[in-house]
Amino acid sequence: MTKPIIQTLTVVGVGLIGGSFSCALKAAGVVERVVGVDLDADNLALALRLGVVDEAAPSLADGVGGAQVVFIAVPVGSVAAVVAQAAPFLPPGCIVTDGGSVKGEVVRLCDPLMPEGVHFVGGHPIAGTEHSGAAAAFAELYRGRRCILTPTATTDAAALELVRCLWQAAGSRVECMEAACHDRIFAAVSHLPHMVAYALVHAVAGSAEGEENILAFSAGGFRDFTRIASSDPTMWRDIALMNRGALLEMLDRYCTEFTALRKRVASGDGPWLEEFFHTSKRLRDGIA
Amino acid sequence: MTKPIIQTLTVVGVGLIGGSFSCALKAAGVVERVVGVDLDADNLALALRLGVVDEAAPSLADGVGGAQVVFIAVPVGSVAAVVAQAAPFLPPGCIVTDGGSVKGEVVRLCDPLMPEGVHFVGGHPIAGTEHSGAAAAFAELYRGRRCILTPTATTDAAALELVRCLWQAAGSRVECMEAACHDRIFAAVSHLPHMVAYALVHAVAGSAEGEENILAFSAGGFRDFTRIASSDPTMWRDIALMNRGALLEMLDRYCTEFTALRKRVASGDGPWLEEFFHTSKRLRDGIA
């Protein structure tokens, strides 16, 4: 039998991310008891009934009072507010970590909120499905997936190590990097593509006014290409706001490329276009 | 047994599109003999060996001389040049049709090239795979897929009807529309998305210089999102050049949306961003 690493884990926000973390650690036998906190009472009751958590806390204050580790799995724009609200009730020695997809701003806001003897470790598990809520949670979500932790120079080494062990127990491949580096990477490979797709859907739908056929013909590649434009609007609002700096840099970089391409389409520069498309293909095939 | 509609079909460019048209019509029993023409002698020999065509013509002039129908399945930028070269050898009563993905420019260039008694009908089968060449051809490629024909006011009615029957025999759902309408629709649902994806790959790869991790992390959604940026560079050069007008209109429409989005990211306008993303989601889910 695996020796439990921790006795009590509190998960704030028992949805796909928080609930799956709970399920994974329970399945791995590294936590004795999971307490759930959720603004949505129905979701919390469901999480309890499904065994995603062992206990449903009546409030955030009650929920975190006996925790060794608190996992904040709320929309990234709300992480700091939840941490601020929980701070007075966090017991000494407690470790707080999160699962938000922007890290610089979260770490910058949360670190100073920690009471004496309580430590914060920023995290971002790279996993998800198109479903949400406690019913969507499952123990295998993180298996083989990356989880990025973003410690600072002042992050407690033991706290970092424990959080790393928990994610590894959940099946993740853990990597540490600076929060700013994380945010630049995800601005490029995730946040920019989402913005590009959202703008594309607007442009195409706008052009469809008075041209009904456009929607009929969009069933092919366009539908697949724009799948990510179906992502949760609130989540993406938060990401755009919280990773504004790195995202703006990528938006401008994209705009430069797009403008260059537009110019050569306008001038009918065949050799330049062929080279541009060829380079894209080579770069993209190199990634795949 | 199905009565053959035509005796001799000549396919110029025996690749995926041309070869599959031949296979489909032979399988349907609506053509007695298919003659293949191809600049690539190895590909043509392979087509003959595989039974994709019944006969390999030594030249374009020889290939089209006895044809009732000539199907031009070369890159869209070369359709008019091939038709011009074939024109002196086209027998009276012959029908020429093509499979290019831009129609306005092709029809405008090809219609006046027709000798007396020879008719042109523009076409665009909406089908394809990631493979190319005679070896990739198969009879079922067009089954259930749309094929758009773009007759003009002067298109011969009997020629249009025969081309329609052939595509239907190949399994396609045939629709007629004006070439300009076709080009506007595909500028929106296909050509613009390709341009957007090509620019995106350049922007992300450019940002990866000195940030190796970006390529490592691009294995997820980015790879799927940019699949279309792996499309054939020559084909897309031709499309960008030949559908320049409609494409520029869509590029500018896109630029307007993108610029508006960038501005609200810069100003941190949460409510606007959420509404923009929400509208995208609603529009895109409506399409799917």
CATH code, domain with A246? 1.10.3660.10
Q: Do B154 and B12 fall within a single domain?
A: yes
User: Which chain B residues are closer than 8 Å to A225 by Cβ?
Assistant: 193, 197, 225, 227-228
Q: Do B111 and B147 fall within a single domain?
A: yes
Q: Do B238 and B164 fall within a single domain?
A: no
Q: What single-letter DSSP state applies at residue B188? A: I
Specify the pLDDT at position B207: 86
**This prediction's pTM:** 0.92
Report the distance separating Cα B231 and Cα A276, nearest Å: 12
Q: Do A94 and A220 fall within a single domain?
A: no
**How far B148 CA lies from chain A's nearest CA (Å)?**
11
The Cβ-side half-sphere exposure at A82, using a 13 Å CA radius, reads 26
B84 touches chain A (CB under 8 A): no
B279 touches chain A (CB under 8 A): yes
User: Which chain B residues are closer than 8 Å to A199 by Cβ?
Assistant: 254, 257-258, 261
Report the distance separating Cα A121 and Cα B9, nearest Å: 70
Q: Do A133 and A185 fall within a single domain?
A: no
3-state helix, strand, coil in chain B (%, to 5): 55, 15, 30
Neighbours of A206 (CB within 10 A): 16
Number of independent structural domains in chain B: 2
> What stretches in chain A show pLDDT beneath 50?
1
Specify the pLDDT at position A224: 80
Q: Do B196 and B269 fall within a single domain?
A: yes
> Dihedral, CA atoms, B217, B220, B221, B227, nearest 10 degrees?
100
φ and ψ at A114, to 5 degrees? -70, 130
The SS3 assignment for B226 reads coil
| Whether A160 contacts A97, CB under 8 Å | no
- A87 inside domain: yes
In this complex, do A253 and B225 lie within 8 Å of one another by their Cβ atoms?
A: no
φ and ψ at B56, to 5 degrees? -110, 120
Specify the pLDDT at position B288: 56
Candidates A186, A194, A202, A251: best to mutate against B (most CBs of B within 10 A) is A202
Q: Do B139 and B247 fall within a single domain?
A: no
Specify the pLDDT at position A135: 97
Could you report the per-residue pLDDT of A64-74, keeping only the tens digit for each?
999 999 999 99
Q: Do B152 and B79 fall within a single domain?
A: yes
User: Which chain B residues are closer than 8 Å to A224 by Cβ?
Assistant: 227
Q: Chain B residue closest to A202 (CA)?
A: B280
In this complex, do B284 and A219 lie within 8 Å of one another by their Cβ atoms?
A: no
Amino acid identity of residue B18, one-letter, is G
User: Which chain A residues are closer than 8 Å to B241 by Cβ?
Assistant: 268, 270, 273
Token pair for A261? 């391409």
Token pair for B276? 């923009």
Amino acid identity of residue B226, one-letter, is T
Domain boundary among A177, A193, A228: A177
> What stretches in chain B show pLDDT beneath 70?
1-4, 210, 212, 219-220, 288
| Whether B144 contacts B204, CB under 8 Å | no
A window 22-41, beta carbon within 8 A of B: none
Q: State the pairing for strand pair B95-98/B173-176.
A: unpaired
Specify the pLDDT at position B172: 97
Specify the pLDDT at position B59: 97
Q: Do B137 and B191 fall within a single domain?
A: no
User: Which chain B residues are closer than 8 Å to A263 by Cβ?
Assistant: none
- B158 inside domain: yes
CA A256 to chain centroid: 28
Beta bridge partners of A36: A11, A56
> Pick from A193, A250, A280: which is nearest to B225 by CB?
A193
Nearest to B105 by CA among B273, B284, B246, B255: B246
Q: What is the CATH number of the domain that holds A31?
A: 3.40.50.720
A window 140-159, beta carbon within 8 A of B: 146
Report the distance separating Cα A5 and Cα A24, nearest Å: 13
Specify the pLDDT at position B146: 94
| Whether A233 contacts B278, CB under 8 Å | yes
Report the distance separating Cα A52 and Cα A54, nearest Å: 7
- B1 inside domain: no
The Cβ-side half-sphere exposure at B56, using a 13 Å CA radius, reads 18
Specify the pLDDT at position B215: 72
Report the distance separating Cα A52 and Cα A278, nearest Å: 49
* ipTM for the assembly: 0.92
> Pick from A208, A250, A278: which is nearest to B203 by CB?
A250
Residue the block writes with tokens 């999160």:
A98
- A115 inside domain: yes
B219 touches chain A (CB under 8 A): yes
Residue the block writes with tokens 């994209």:
A254
Report the distance separating Cα A148 and Cα A125, nearest Å: 6
Report the distance separating Cα B1 and Cα B140, nearest Å: 20
Q: What single-letter DSSP state applies at residue A148? A: E
Q: Chain A residue closest to B183 (CA)?
A: A214
Angle at the Cα of A196 from the Cα atoms of A191 and A197, rounded to 5 degrees? 100
In this complex, do B231 and A193 lie within 8 Å of one another by their Cβ atoms?
A: no
DSSP conformation letters of B106-160: HHHHHGGGPPTT-EEE-EEE----S--SGGG--TTTTTT-EEEE---TTS-HHHH
Domain boundary among B144, B177, B210: B177
The Cβ-side half-sphere exposure at B288, using a 13 Å CA radius, reads 17
- A1 inside domain: no
Nearest to B249 by CA among B204, B171, B188: B188
| Whether B105 contacts B46, CB under 8 Å | no
Q: Do A11 and A110 fall within a single domain?
A: yes
| Whether B200 contacts A254, CB under 8 Å | yes
Could you report the per-residue pLDDT of A19-58, keeping only the tens digit for each?
999 999 999 999 999 999 999 999 999 999 999 999 999 9
Domain boundary among A177, A211, A231: A177
Please report the number of interchain residue pairs, chain A to chain B, with beta-carbon separation below 8 angstroms. Answer: 281
φ and ψ at A139, to 5 degrees? -65, -20
User: Which chain A residues are closer than 8 Å to B193 by Cβ?
Assistant: 200, 204, 221-222, 225-226
- A198 inside domain: yes
Helix (H) or strand (E) segment spanning residue A125: strand A123-125
- A141 inside domain: yes
Q: Do B73 and B124 fall within a single domain?
A: yes
In this complex, do B208 and A188 lie within 8 Å of one another by their Cβ atoms?
A: yes
- What domain range includes position A277? 181-287
Find the helix packing angle between A192-207 and B244-267, rounded to 10°. 130
Q: Do A210 and A107 fall within a single domain?
A: no
